[in-house]
């Protein structure tokens, strides 16, 4: 898996369990519809975080069956504590903490969150899309992909009709990609702030789910796609 490198890659955040050590400890608890995330460095001190597309914290939550998806921005309570009110139904979720701590090595790794009595991964039976066009609230998004082969640059181009696109978190869209097993995480930003073109690269073959986020008026709409990388 490719590493998350904020200095050399502005548009892509990947996870890598091999090339980087992790200098941030994360504790997550969920009680009474309140999710609490505690971030500390190896000495137990509070890290300082850099702004990343208008936020210091992007929290991604995905259910183990890939059907529920949340992109949230928890409230900073101080001392490395962040909280998010959210009602989660009983399930096993994977949590991805997307932050940029200053002067610390950090990799995004999936964290298990058990809600209720769901304590086992589900067998995910998703199939790649054969038609890359989705409509939500009369807004149609067509996705064009030039290549789905590992170790080759991949370009996602989105054509949008039926709605007026608004800037969202400093760009015209955001794309979150995870593999079927929820082990690989990619957060992609557009190649330019006024474009809906995204560049990324895959290092492992398999089935991936893509959540494409765009803002129309005051609403953020999510357009999901399933792709096969060979």
Strand-pair category, 133-136 with 91-99: unpaired
Is residue 13 within 8 A of residue 186, CB to CB? The reply is yes
Average pLDDT over residues 207-218: 94
What are 124-159's pLDDT values in tens digits? 778 999 999 999 999 999 999 999 999 999 999 999
Model confidence at 38, pLDDT cuts 50, 70, 90, reads very high
Per-residue pLDDT band at 99 (split at 50, 70, 90): confident
3-class secondary structure for the chain? Answer: CCCCCCCCCCCEEECCCCCCCCCEEEEEEEECCEEEEEEEECCCCCCCECCECCECEEEEEEECCCCCEEEECCEEEECCEEEEECCCCCEEEEEEEEECECCCCCCCCCEEEEECCCCCCCCCCCCCCCCCEEEECCEEEEEEECCCCCCCEEEEEEEEECCCEECECCECCEEEEEECCCCCEEEECECCCCCCEEEEECCCCEEEEEEEEEEECCEEEEEEEEEEEC
Q: What percent of the chain has pLDDT over 90?
A: 60
180-191: average pLDDT: 91
Between the alpha carbon of residue 143 and those of residues 17, 69, 87, 215, the distances in Å are: 30, 19, 31, 16
Residue 119 has a pLDDT of 60
Q: Rounded to an integer, what distance in angstroms lies between the CA atom of residue 214 and that of residue 191?
A: 15
- 9-32 pLDDT tens trace: 334 444 444 445 788 889 999 998
- State yes or no: pLDDT of 43 exceeds 80: yes
Cβ atoms of residues 214 and 187 within 8 Å? no
- Residue 172 reports pLDDT greater than 50: yes
Q: Which pLDDT tens digit goes with each residue over 102-132?
A: 888 888 889 999 998 756 666 677 899 999 9
How confident is the model at residue 17, as a pLDDT?
A: 41
Q: Is residue 196 scored above 80 in pLDDT?
A: yes
Walk me through the domains of the chain, giving residue ranges and CATH numbers: 12-115 (2.60.40.10), 133-229 (2.60.40.10)
**Maximum alpha-carbon separation in the chain:** 52
């Amino acid at each position: 898996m490719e590493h998350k490198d904020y200095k050399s890659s502005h548009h892509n955040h990947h996870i890598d369990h091999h090339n980087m050590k992790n200098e941030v400890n994360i504790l997550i608890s969920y009680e009474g519809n309140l999710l609490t995330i505690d971030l500390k460095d190896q000495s137990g001190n509070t890290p300082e975080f850099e702004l990343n597309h208008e936020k210091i914290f992007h929290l991604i939550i995905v259910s183990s069956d890939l059907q529920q998806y949340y992109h949230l921005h928890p409230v900073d309570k101080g001392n490395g504590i962040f909280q998010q009110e959210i009602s989660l139904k009983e399930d096993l979720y994977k949590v991805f903490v997307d932050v940029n701590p200053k002067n610390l090595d950090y990799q995004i790794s999936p964290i298990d969150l058990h809600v209720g009595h769901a304590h086992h991964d589900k067998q995910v039976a998703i199939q790649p899309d054969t038609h890359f066009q989705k409509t939500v609230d009369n807004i149609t998004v067509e996705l064009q992909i030039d290549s789905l082969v590992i170790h080759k640059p991949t370009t996602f181009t989105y054509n949008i009709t039926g709605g007026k696109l608004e800037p969202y978190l400093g760009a015209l869209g955001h794309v979150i990609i995870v593999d079927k097993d929820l082990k690989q995480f990619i957060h992609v930003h557009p190649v330019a702030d006024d474009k809906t073109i995204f560049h990324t690269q895959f290092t492992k073959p398999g089935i991936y789910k893509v959540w494409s986020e765009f803002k129309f008026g005051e609403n953020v709409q999510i357009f999901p796609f399933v792709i096969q990388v060979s």
